[in-house]
Homo-oligomer: A and B are copies of this chain.
Amino acid sequence: MFYLVGMVIAMNDRAFQDYYSEYYSSCYGCGSMNPHGLHIKSYWDGEATICHFTPEQYHTAFPGYVYGGLIASVMDCHAIGSAAAALYRAEDRVMGSDPSIRCVTASLKVDYLKPTPIGCELTLRGVIQEVKHKKVRVDVTLEAQGELRARGEVIAVRIPDNYAM
Contacts and interface: CB of A to CB of B under 8 A. Distances in A.
A98 B48 CA distance: 48
Given A58-B35, A69-B72, A72-B69, A63 B111 contact: no
B24 A36 contact: no
Nearest to A60: B26
Interface string A84-111: 0000000000000000000011111111
Copies of this chain, count: 2
B58 A36 contact: yes
A2 interface: no
Contact of A109 (B26, B58, B107): B107
Interface string A1-43: 0000000000000000000000110111101001111000000
Given A68-B76, A72-B73, A28 B106 contact: no
A4 B15 CA distance: 61
Contacts of A144: none
Central interface residue in A28, A56, A109, A110, by most chain B CB within 10 Å: A28
Contact of A112 (B31, B62, B105): B105
Nearest to A152: B108
A53 interface: no
Give the residue among A34, A73, A105 with the most B Cβ atoms within 10 A. Answer: A105
14 contacts: A23-B62, A24-B62, A26-B60, A26-B63, A27-B60, A28-B70, A34-B60, A68-B104, A69-B69, A69-B74, A70-B73, A72-B73, A109-B109, A109-B110
Given A28-B67, A67-B73, 4 more contacts: A68-B108, A72-B73, A108-B112, A109-B109
